[in-house]
Structure 1
Amino acid sequence: MKTAIQIEVRPTEIDVMGHVNNAKYLEYMEWSREDWYNRVGLPFDVFTEMNVGTVTVNININYRKEARLGQKLTISTEPVRKGRTSFVLKHEIVNEQEELVADAEVISCTIDLKARKAVPLPDELAKHFT
């Protein structure tokens, strides 16, 4: 399932170059990822009840076009692939002209919250990667 959120670039997200600071794109993607989890029925408390957490272990991001103050951006999230204990979500950020601003693949791992060790993906999560 592909999901998307929309945001408007705020003054606090702009750097000295007059465009969105590179670190803010990661925040936008995190917000979209959280929305994806919620919309597929896996909010934080559901993972906690399973004694499972998700940990980001790698982000490969491409900055394609600058975003500026006041622009409306759409950030999408979709499942790409899964392994035994890890999974990949793809993010795309597009502007109002449908131009690709940034894209990334985020690799996350599922861990046992008490042991803090990797565990296999729960079926509730794995089923979203067909």
Structure 2
Amino acid sequence: METSIQIEVRPTEIDVMGHVNNAKYLEYMEWSREDWYNKANLPFDTFTEMNIGTVTVHIAINYRKEARLGEKLTISTKPLRKGRTSYVLEHVITNEQGERVADAEVVSCTIDLTARKSVPIPETLARQFEG
């Protein structure tokens, strides 16, 4: 399942170069990831009830085009692949012209919240990666 959110670039997200600060793109992706979990019926509470947490362990991001104040951006999220304890979500940020502003692959791992060690991906999450 692919989901997307839309945002408008705010003044607090602009750096001295007059465009969106690189760290803000990670926030945009985090907001979209949270939306993806919710639309997949996997809100934070569901994981907590299973005593499972999701931890971001690696992000590979490409900055393709600058975004500026007031621009409307779409951030899309979709599952790419999964392993035994980790999985990859892809984020793509586009502007109103449909141009790719940034993209990233985010690797997350599922952990036992008590032991703080990795555990196999729960079936409810694993199903999101099926055809």
Superposition deviation, residue 89 in structure 1: 0.1
Render the CA deviation track for 1:64-102: whole Å, top value 9, x for unaligned: 000000000000000000000000000000000000000
- Matched with 2:54 is 54
- Matched with 1:110 is 110
The gaps in structure 2 that reach 5 residues or longer are none
Give 1:88-107 correspondences, 5 Å limit.
88-107=88-107
- Matched with 1:20 is 20
Pair 1:2 & 2:2 matched: yes
- Matched with 2:71 is 71
Match of 1:128, SS state, is helix
- Matched with 1:38 is 38
Q: How many residues align?
A: 130
CA distance in 2, matches of 1:81, 1:32: 18
Amino acid at match of 2:37: Y
TM-score by length of 1: 1.00
CA distance in 2, matches of 1:21, 1:36: 24
TM-score by length of 2: 0.99
Amino acid at match of 1:37: Y
CA distance in 2, matches of 1:111, 1:71: 37
Q: Pairwise CA RMSD of aligned residues?
A: 0.2
Superposition deviation, residue 4 in structure 1: 0.1
Amino acid at match of 1:86: S
Amino acid at match of 2:43: P
Match of 2:117, SS state, is coil
